[in-house]
Structures are given as C-alpha cells and as structure tokens.
C-alpha cells in the first residue's frame, strides 16, 4: 500500500513494484485519514508512507497503522534524512527508513525484505553514532526496568562474538570493528552471521538488544 501526497511519485513506486512481478498494490492514498481507513480495509503486508505528509503527522499515522495492523511492515520514505525522525521511526517499529532518491531495484528489494520480517532500519540506525546512542540508551533504560537475566550464565556466543556485539552496541561499523580487532572485514561479517544464526534474530540491533537483556554485554553511561 502507498500513502504519499504526490501522484507522480506514487505512480513511479507502483510501476517499479508491479514490474517486479511479485508485488501487488492493494491501495493508494494521498493523505493520512484515507490511508488509515484503507489500511484497515485491505490489511496490507507492507505500507510505504511519505515521512513528510502535510495532512497529518506521518509518524502518528504509522503508529495507528501498526496498532490496527500489527503484521504490516512500515517503510518510511523521506526526501531528506532527519535523525530525529529516524529515531522516532525506529521506536514505533518501522521496518525501513529510506530516501526517496532510492533506485527502483533497491525499493523492490527493500519491500521484499521487510515483507519477510527483516528490519532494514536497524543497521541504518547503528551507523549513526548520535542516533545509536539514543536508541541504545532507550534499550539500557528498558533493561534497568526489566533486570537482565544474569542467572542464565550460559551463552551460545563465543568470547569473540560477545566482543563484536559490544562494538556493534557502541555504533561501530564492520570496517571499524575489523580495524580495532585487527581482523578482516569478511571475518567480522562471518562472526555477525554466526551471531544472528545462534540467536535466531534477523539483524544486528536485535542481537544487541538480546545480549543486553541477557546481561552478556553492558552499556555504560553515555
């Protein structure tokens, strides 16, 4: 489903997605009220929302759609990146936060990924130190309210994997982790793949949250 004020942009998205062959546009809307009604009516798997809707707060619309259709993956589309909006998008559970300058192929791939439960937004967040700090502070506050399961000493992760998760939690990229640990970029990627598989999670941020809750890593003060 597409919710965007600009007919030409909606048409471009429609063309790109329908030409992919495995995507069907079930509804379109140019403003939030109609968008919410149509989302309730059609229960789409993926909803693309213009992050700069003038008719209403796009984030509020995304929250309402998430509430009425919890299984719908939300993709926020923006003309320019805004770290506050990125942070708020992640907090409300958006699956992706993409620039409108994205290529047709990348848009199709993003829709395919989020439709399977992948949260593309997370690595985008962790690559931005100021946003990552806020997100991880929120996670830390959550773990303070809900004490880590420290009694469960066993961890399926190796010491090196724990070390890499700790670097990820502090907003380091794969390249930065490789440089710090004096290992190759590919070795870092291999470790991350192993971490995701062992923890049965889809992305790096989910792995960090899991490790924080288990008490395997700790976030110090800002």
Q: What is the pLDDT of residue 65?
A: 92
Contact 14, 25 (CB under 8 A): yes
Q: Please name which of 120, 16, 181 lies closest in space to residue 190, comparing C-alpha atoms.
A: 181
Q: What is the pLDDT of residue 110?
A: 92
pLDDT top residue among 213 and 194: 194
Least confident among 5-9, 149-153, 178-182: 149-153
Contacts of 150 (CB under 8 A, 6+ apart): 215
Confidence of residue 108 (pLDDT cuts 50, 70, 90): very high
Q: What is the pLDDT of residue 123?
A: 59
Domains and CATH numbers, the chain: 2-119 (3.40.50.2300), 129-214 (3.40.50.2300)
User: What are the pLDDT digits (tens) for 21-31?
Assistant: 899 999 999 99
pLDDT top residue among 193 and 215: 193
Q: What is the pLDDT of residue 220?
A: 57
Give the largest Cα separation in the chain, rounded: 56
Main-chain phi, psi angles of 67, to 5 degrees? -70, -45
- Please tell me the pTM assigned to this model: 0.64
Residues 56-81, buried b or exposed e (16+ Cβ, 10 A)?
Answer: eebbebbbbbbeebeebbbbbbbeee
User: What are the pLDDT digits (tens) for 37-82?
Assistant: 999 999 999 999 999 887 668 989 998 998 888 889 999 998 887 7
Mean pLDDT confidence for 185-194: 91
Q: What is the pLDDT of residue 1?
A: 96
Record the tokens describing residue 191, joined without a space.
């470790």
pLDDT at 149 over 50: no
Distance between CA atoms of 215 and 150, rounded to whole angstroms?
6
Mean pLDDT confidence for 181-203: 89
pLDDT, the chain, mean:
83
Contacts of 181 (CB under 8 A, 6+ apart): 160, 163, 164, 167, 188
Tokens 């062959």 belong to which residue?
Answer: 21
Backbone torsion region of residue 23, taken as left when φ is above 0, otherwise alpha when ψ lies between -120 and 50, otherwise beta: beta
């Amino acid at each position: 489903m597409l919710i965007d004020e600009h007919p030409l942009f909606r048409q471009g998205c429609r063309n790109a997605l329908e030409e992919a062959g495995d995507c069907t546009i079930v509804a379109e809307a140019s403003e939030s009220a109609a968008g919410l009604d149509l989302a309730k009516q059609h229960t789409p798997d993926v909803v693309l929302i213009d992050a700069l809707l003038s008719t209403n707060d796009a984030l509020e619309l995304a929250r309402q759609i998430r509430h009425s259709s919890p299984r719908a993956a939300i993709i926020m589309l923006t003309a320019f990146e805004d770290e506050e909006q990125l942070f708020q998008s992640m907090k409300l559970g958006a699956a992706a936060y993409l620039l409108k300058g994205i290529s047709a192929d990348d848009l199709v791939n993003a829709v395919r990924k989020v439709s399977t439960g992948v949260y593309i937004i997370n690595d985008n967040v962790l690559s931005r130190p100021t946003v990552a700090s806020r997100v991880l502070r929120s996670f830390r506050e959550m773990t303070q309210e809900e004490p880590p399961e420290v009694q469960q000493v066993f961890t399926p992760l190796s010491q090196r994997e724990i070390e890499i998760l700790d670097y990820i939690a502090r907003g380091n990229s794969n390249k930065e982790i490789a440089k710090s640990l004096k290992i190759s970029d590919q070795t870092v990627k291999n470790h991350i793949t192993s971490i995701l598989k062992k923890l049965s999670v889809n992305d790096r941020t989910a792995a960090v949250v899991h490790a924080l809750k288990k008490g395997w890593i700790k976030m110090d003060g800002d």
